[in-house]
Structure formats: structure tokens, C-alpha cells
Amino acid sequence: MNRKKRIAYGIVTLCLLIIEVLIALFVHDNFIRPYIGDVLVVIVLYTFIRIWVVEKCRLLPIYICVFAVIVEVLQYFEIVKILHLENNAFFRILLGSVFDVKDIVCYAVGGIILCGYEILLERRKKKTMKNNYESIERK
């Protein structure tokens, strides 16, 4: 992956992370914070990993969704209490402490958005390759 793409993914990650923090600190509603925030978490993880992972990992959105679901299931089993981290605010926030099936649905929505993004990237790459091939043929 080229340097420009890595920088772009880094900038997007930073912007989305700032949005997530702002949502957590200032949005206290019944839709954006609980749902949009969870959708964005998956996208933040994706863009962060894309800084280092090569483009050929087309299943990355699925891997991230599986990871998010595992973390959510660990909340069901109260992993924070098992690890005796219930008094540590950082780990309570990072790992979460309340299991909710709706969170899994939000992670899936984020994954679907990312799969759509991956498909668009693939189509754009094929179109570019086709255009390059056609221009070479004309010469």
C-alpha cells in the first residue's frame, strides 16, 4: 500500500476517533450515541488497521465484525468483573460492561458499510486497470 493511502487512513481514523469522543462526551440521546457510535466503532477499527494492513485483506470488515461481536459476548460473561477491572474506568469503557444484542446489529451495519466500501474500491481498481490496458492497446 502506498504512503498516501496510509496517511489518508490515518487522517480518517483520527477524524472518526474525534467524532467518537465527541459523541461519548456531549451526545446524550437515544439514537446517535448508542447506535451510530457503535457503527462508527467498527469503521474506526477498520481505518486504523488499514494504516498497516495491505489492501489484499478483503475480508477485513468481516474480521473486525467478528472481533466486535466477541467483545460484546465477553460483556455478557462480565469479562471486566472476571478480570477484576471493574474499578478501572479505562478498561470498563474499552471492554464495555453491558451486553446488548442491538450493539451486535450495529457492528453488523458497520461491517456492511465497510463491505460496500471494499466492493467500490475493487470496482474502481478494476476500472482503472481496464482503462490502463485499453490505453496501452491503442498505442
Nearest of 45, 79, 78, 77 to residue 64 by alpha carbon: 45
Label each residue of 66-125 as H, E or C: HHHHHHHHHHHCCHHHHCCCCCCHHHHHHHCCCCCHHHHHHHHHHHHHHHHHHHHHHHHH
User: What length is written for the chain?
Assistant: 139
Q: What is the pLDDT along the chain (139 residues), one digit of tens a residue?
A: 588 999 999 999 999 999 999 998 999 999 999 999 999 999 999 999 999 997 778 899 999 999 999 999 999 999 999 999 989 988 888 888 889 999 999 999 999 999 999 999 889 888 888 777 777 776 6
SS3 content of the chain, % helix, strand, coil (to 5): 80, 0, 20
Could you give the number of structural domains in the chain? 1
Range of the domain at 73: 3-138
- Virtual CA dihedral for 107, 111, 112, 114, nearest 10 degrees? 140
